[in-house]
A and B are shown apart, each in its own frame.
Chain A
Amino acid sequence: MATLISANAGLAIFVHGNEADVISINNVDRELNYPLSSIPYLLSGATDVKVINKITKRDSLSLLQKEFGKNRALKLALIMLDESEDDSTVEMAADCLAELLSDPDILSCIENSLYSNVLPSNANVVRAKKYSQSIDAMESLLTKIEQSQPKILRYRESWNALSEDMFDDYTDKMLYEERLIASGAFKNLVEASDDHNKLSLAHIQCLSDLRDLRNSRAVITHWISGLTSKDDRKLKNFTSQNIDALEEITEHKNYRKHKIKPHDAFTNAIRQKQAIIPLLRKGDWSKTRKYVDDLVKSQSINSDPEHISKSLCDLAQHAKLVHNHSLQLELAKRAAEIAVDDGWAHCQVADAYICLSQYDNALKWLQSSEVFGQDAYAQTGFARILREQGKYDEAIAAFEKLTVNFPDSPIAYNSYAEVLKDVCKLEEALSVYNISIEKFPEDTTGYSGKASTLKALGRLDEALNLYNYAKAIKDDSYIGSGIADIFKLKGEYDIALRMYDEVIKKFPESSIPKCGRANVLRLKGQYSAALKQFRIIASEFPFDFSPKEGEAEVLKECGRLKQALGKYEEIIKEFPAANRSRNGRANVLKAMGEYEKALQAYDENVKDFPYDVVAWNGRADLLKQLGNFADSIEAYKRIAELNPLDKTAIYARAAIYVVLGQYSTALQLLPTEPPQTREDWFAQHIKGMIHLKSGDLDEAIRIFEDALRRVPYYNVAKYFRNALAVASLRLKRPQDVVGALDATQNDSIADVLSIHAYGESGAIKKAQEAYIRIEKGCPPFIVNLRDELAARYIGRIKMLDHDIDWIFAEECKIVLLDAA
């Protein structure tokens, strides 16, 4: 850990990973945490920053206090000398100085500084001496300084006259000067300038003090030569010899390490790591750091640097799992510092920087990892950054190239397939996974990736077979959870629960199957059990916000909206970067009927996460629901600009055009090919609605019924069911609707259509039940239709003035706006 200290800023800054703990001299008991990027802000204007490596916090604070005392004493001394200050200020400065000068280091610092430059023309030494009468050291110092002004002037002018060519640059000269002053060399030379012997000793001391600076002998000699007599110059050789002798004395002795057997060292390291991992999971960072220090210390004695690096890299990955990317960076960097030529450690640093979205730094470390032989990782990293930046075309090209350059790397193939999945090229992704599986039959990542793609395509049985095949090769929590998830998607909840239980038993350290299991309980409607589960998982994995989000979702689903909102707010407070929770909060506000607040929440999310298409979609969708169609169309256009591949936004825009009766504009946005992806099915829905609204009911019904037979996405089917219901109602066949809509739960649209269908069939009680379900929390775009139907069939409210064509148009509108 490095520490930055500035007396001027009054701060000690402790740097670790991507963070900095900051303590102010004014309140040493309070430690504030800042991102590393705040350091330029904290230190702006401070010209006295010192960087110290490997120093304890306690020692840093003592040093800060000492430096602060020196800095302040010098300021007070200058105030005392300043002619423009009033007497009371000078008197007060003298009082404070008396106390500070009791510390010999501070006195020496002031002496060194005052001897390094001539007093300014407005210095009032007489008054300063008058107020220093009670401070012996100060009075005597002022007298000496006053007398030494001509000598100080000579040394100062000679120093200023030194050519900058002797130094690396202007900064280098400043560094020299500061060392000359701080070490007391400047003062000693000035003081000794009248005495030949003293000057020789001062010269030797000066050379010794500055010997670690480049070209120091030449610089000092050059500086002094203009000021000394011939006799003094004879001493040059003598001093050089003495300096060489001094350097010899300072050589360090090497101590032999007491090593233990390699196997014992290895098992020790594993034991120590196993003790650290639970601490990481609990978020006990200070203990983690302490144990990591112990690990490094013990491995330093018994193992080679690359073994220490391996342990640290491993721990960095665990830090990544708990989303503490700053600690991940800290550990990875430490690994790279210990084993400087360990390419894998460089890869880990790059990985941490990618997680922190600091791509410049990531690129730099990827380049260095390449130098140390990690070509494949580095190239994958470059492509990965393109993917993270949303530059999908470039990323696809880069990953494709990787499969050519590194044909033996499964990571290249699987990453290539992943990015194809990102852009919904699922069939192409499957082809790449097939090659990966063929080439690397023992690597389960390809199987898992392909299975998850099949899952997305609704080909659940194929996915299940593949997961099982992969499981036989090498089981892990992802594969196990994947299998359980398929049963969940099939609605076979009891089997899914059993499968999750098996995975949890086998891999208790993973939160994924545990959250998966809790979600199944939620889907089964066992809300209290699900809540309990999520809470247990949250306490077990405090730095994973998925279980907390799960809890909020359950609360929302079982209608405890206020609590759900509270939970989301709690998550956001703890994890400000949890954009999914921020959208979740906005959704809850929407569900509460707080549309203005919901829109404000989406606006806020869009500001903080400008590339979060979910937030942009949420905003556009709300504008749509509030009836601001023109603004909503613009908002969807913005999404298309952000992500041209986002078909959802395009089709949502098409749906609004259909509502507005602009069918040809809508059709221009829709695909002409048969539906393949989930989004394509929404486009198909819109096409059907165009037929329905245009009066071509037969074709509309054909499209809806065909979709209900073929659509592989169970949660898309309801939109076609609703559309078919509208068509049936238009054909005055409410009996066809009644049974069909009962299958859909928690759907305001189905409830509104049910009021119509039951009302038309004479089943008024059922119509009333449907009305009650949407009496509260009804989306604004449904309200008018709900009230019209309620008036017409239930007599709840005053009869409104709309006819059956208006009802049909409204039903088409709500079905369209709901789906896309």
Chain B
Amino acid sequence: MTCKICNTKVPLNARLCPCCQADVGFPNVRATQTPEEQLALKDRLTNAYVSTDARGCKDVLERFGNYNLKSKCVFCRSLDIVSDLLSSHYTLYINFHKQVAAGSRLPKDDAWEIGRPAVESTLFPHYFQEINVACLTLKNTGLTNYGAYSIILKDIMISNRASVFEENPFHFMEKHRIIAGQQIPPGYRASWNERNKFAMAKLHSKINKNTTDDEFAEIVMRPGTSNALDDFIEVHIYGPIHPTSFERIVGPKPVKKIDLVLWKSLKTKCNNFGITLEEI
């Protein structure tokens, strides 16, 4: 893209125009707005309409899309991590790679390829360390396999800097047989504000004429079984996440006394930050 102010070509990873320093938007969101991406997403959506029309459930698909306009962004963590995140006004939730770089004792070599920055740098060239990962939900909980406590983010704090993606990028790269540095096929990402269309394009095959509105949440986010992968729409948020972005924290009230102390402490901290703590 080029800067609207000075017409200079802007690098893919830039937040500001390198020449005039004008705000050029968040790179992950910009990446969803190219003509190729928009056209490919439109094609996928057309396919979704064709199939659901042939299957007699086009109206259900449209209802599903409307529900997704109200979908939220969520990530799940353990009670300890949630408690740490609210421990001070200076704590930020940062990207895994930044976290590794900031002192986690994972080795710097890629003995297990667990960081797989190659994968993420393909998706977010030169800015993968800025991207935080969450998922889309139609209910107030996330994938609790990754932690019993779901943190729901405020729309207003992420809507300009978030984009949605088909799935876990590692699996995406394997599925699409992509090598680092090669182009990601278009149509598999969208801006936060287009998440409804994206959900329709991706998930129409889960819908039939008997699908009820109550089932939509399970369609958008389905935890994996023992040998199947979690199925979800990944949300990519540019930049760190401050606790003031948290709308609510949802999780079980602990039974053990040692956990209950943390829970009580969490309640106090949530009050200080204006976050709703919801017990399930």
Contacts and interface: CB of A to CB of B under 8 A. Distances in A.
Contacts of B264: 86, 88-89, 92
Interface in A1-53: 2, 4, 7-11, 15, 26, 32-33, 35-51
Contacts of B106: 4, 49, 51
Contacts, number: 195
A245 B108 CA distance: 31
A33 B226 CA distance: 6
A522 interface: no
Chain B CB within 10 Å — which of A10, A360, A609 has the most? A360
A631 B105 contact: no
Contacts of B83: 75
Provide the main secondary structure of the chain A interface: helix
B209 interface: yes
Interface string A357-379: 11111010000000000000000
A96 B226 CA distance: 35
Contact-residue size bin, chain B (C-beta under 8 Å from the other chain): 35 or more
A238 to B, nearest CB: 32
B253 to A, nearest CB: 14
A597 interface: yes
A609 B205 CA distance: 13
B205 A606 contact: yes
Interface string A46-89: 11111100000000000000000001100110110010111011
A713 interface: no
Interface in B84-109: 84-85, 87, 93, 96, 99, 101-107
A388 B173 CA distance: 13
A35 B229 contact: yes
A175 interface: yes
Interface in A324-370: 356-361, 363
Given A47-B102, A89-B265, A360-B180, A10 B78 contact: yes
Nearest to A26: B148
Interface stretch (B6-14, B22-30, B47-55, B62-70): B47-55
B171 A92 contact: no
A5 B85 CA distance: 20
Interface string B172-185: 01111111100001
A385 interface: yes
Contacts of B180: 360
Nearest to B88: A120
A576 interface: yes
Contacts of A79: 261-262, 265
Contact of B93 (A45, A72, A75, A78): A45
A7 B43 CA distance: 46
A749 B168 CA distance: 45
A117 to B, nearest CB: 13
A36 B113 contact: yes
Given A596-B55, A600-B208, A44 B202 contact: no
A614 to B, nearest CB: 16
A8 B78 contact: yes
A127 to B, nearest CB: 15
Interface in B176-217: 176-180, 185, 202, 204-206, 208-209
Interface string A545-589: 000000000000000000000000000001010000000000000
B114 interface: yes
A32 B54 contact: no
A270 interface: no
Contact of B262 (A75, A388, A596): A75
Contacts of A626: 54
B51 A576 contact: no
A10 B208 contact: no
A639 to B, nearest CB: 12
B99 A72 contact: no
Contacts of B113: 36, 358, 361
A492 B115 CA distance: 56
A2 B54 contact: no
Contacts of B115: 40
A407 interface: no
| 5 pairs of A and B residues whose beta carbons are closest in the complex | A37-B170, A603-B205, A174-B103, A357-B174, A604-B205
Interface of B: 43, 46-47, 50-51, 54-56, 75, 77-78, 80-81, 83-85, 87, 93, 96, 99, 101-107, 111-116, 118-119, 133, 145-148, 168, 170-171, 173-180, 185, 202, 204-206, 208-209, 226-229, 257-258, 260-262, 264-265, 268, 272
6 contacts: A9-B78, A9-B80, A50-B105, A596-B209, A599-B51, A604-B206
Given A40-B114, A85-B265, 9 more contacts: A15-B114, A38-B168, A39-B114, A44-B133, A51-B107, A96-B258, A171-B102, A360-B179, A574-B227
